[in-house]
Amino acid sequence: MTDNMNCKQSDLNFKKTTKQTNLFVKASKAKRLIFNYVWNEIPVFYNDVSKVLTIPGGTEVSPTILNNPKQIYSIFGAAGQNDVKQIKIIGKLKIIGSAEYMFSYLKKLTLIVGLANIDTTEVTNMSGLFNYCCNLKTIDVSNFDTSNVTNMHGMFGNCYNLTSLNIEKFNTTKVTDMGEMFSGCANIKKLDLSHFDMRSIPRFNQAPIGSDDQSTFAMLSGMTKLKILKLNNNCDLKNSNMDGWLYREGVHYGQPIDSRWVNLDGGTITDAKGSNIWYPCEMSTKYQVGQDTDTYIRFGIVTTQYRDEDGNVLAPNHVRMGLIDEQYTDVSSINISGYVIKNIIGETSNRFTDRKNKVITFVYTKAQVFIQFVDEIGAKIVANEVLKGKIGDEYHTLAKTIPGYTLKEIKGSVYGYFTKIPQSVAYVYSKNVINDAIKDEVTKPKLNNKSKDTINELSPKTRAKKRENIAVLSLGGTLLLSVVSIFWLKHKKLRR
């Protein structure tokens, strides 16, 4: 290239002559600061310290004309100065013909200021325009007039760090090649093609002829973080290779093959209603022009379940599909007749996650009445009981007969209706008091059948002796009773 030859001449000789096309200027003896180059017959200035390349231009009325401009990278080829970090366009430029690869391969470029100063109304070719601008995070092409462009192949290809792109004003009615247009744009999350007209692309709305059909081949490959895709009736995704992976600079780029996409179909990004649920590879093969037009999102799932304490289904599951990384906050319970919520399993507020189904379970229980049997200080006497029933149903409770205790009072309603709020009934008992006489009677030993059986087990001689002793005792008792009776009668007569 002529520019490369000029760079070599400048770098090798560094001579100050008025005929040099690339003039090297020393700002100091110790360090080179400014390089003056000629690019497409206009002078440009490169600051070797700030790494800024400045491109002057003309005025609104008289812009500087660039006919089929060569790529900027070429002027640094011989000098080895491919470390431009910023480009400033400070005047009006008008490009005529092809702008193919104009900014490409400036891998350290982080910012282009003044793209709005470029008149693109007569540009016919923008293929590879920003290809391999690996460190650009934003490109303002919102002012580009693309009405005469026929080729956009690889226009933004391999811009790995590009995070957003406003191409809503692009006129693509004449474009015949969009192959690899966004390939490798790994950090773009949203792509709006809703204003694209792809009807000039060969074999529009027809089956692709393998990889030889380059018109849309790999258009969406390597878009790792893409999660919103807006399409219209004139968009065709055939052969766009949405599931394609790229290996660049030692890194793999692409979507997980098991991630999934769904159309909104009138829903929202946190509750999509569509039925076109496709893997990335299916976006290219199943999408039908004009029939499947919609906004598509890469989604995660949140499933809400409604179960009783035993795991029985009380109501159908609610499945929500939402944009990955988007917050969901409105997961809530539903009213189920006769039941109240006992607890919640899972996160009712979090984010939709790629390739995961988050499950939230609302566990319901019937209304409850807790019954206690306690003493006067509230200590439990026997086990508590729980009555369960549907809200609005009637309940009845009963006191218990507890040995050694007497029911003293009842706290709460012994009968009523089950409500959402748990109820309680307490039966309070007092401990019975036993006096000494009753206590002695209760504790006096009694001869039971076992004692009789023991006597019967004695030997005949012993049994005879026992009977003799009993007879003597009985006779003695009778005599004593007679004496007492005689004494009492005599005493009574004397008193008379």
The rounded percent of the chain whose pLDDT value lies above 90 is 66
User: Which of 404, 431, 458 is at the close of a domain?
Assistant: 431
Q: What is the pLDDT of residues 110-137, one digit of tens each?
A: 999 999 999 999 999 999 999 999 999 9
Q: What is the pLDDT of residues 284-339, one digit of tens each?
A: 889 999 999 999 999 999 999 999 999 999 999 999 999 999 999 889 899 998 89
Q: What is the pLDDT of residues 396-446, one digit of tens each?
A: 999 999 999 999 999 999 999 999 889 999 999 999 987 655 555 555 555
Is-above-0.75 flag for pTM?
no
CA separation for the pair 484, 317 (Å, rounded): 97
User: Which of 125, 144, 160 is at the close of a domain?
Assistant: 125
Q: Is residue 64 part of a domain?
A: yes
User: Which of 76, 95, 125 is at the close of a domain?
Assistant: 125
Q: Is residue 221 part of a domain?
A: no
- Other CB atoms within 10 A of residue 110 CB: 17
Calculate mean pLDDT across residues 470-496: 50
Look at the chain and report how many structural domains it folds into: 2
Q: Is residue 108 part of a domain?
A: yes
pLDDT of residue 238: 87
Q: Is residue 403 part of a domain?
A: yes
CA 188 to chain centre: 19
CATH code for the domain of 427: 3.10.20.320
CA separation for the pair 93, 21 (Å, rounded): 20
Q: Is residue 316 part of a domain?
A: no
Q: Is residue 370 part of a domain?
A: yes
pLDDT of residue 76: 74
Range of the domain at 392: 364-431
Q: Is residue 389 part of a domain?
A: yes
Picking from 9-23, 65-79, 340-354, which range would have the lowest pLDDT averaged per residue?
9-23
Q: Is residue 378 part of a domain?
A: yes
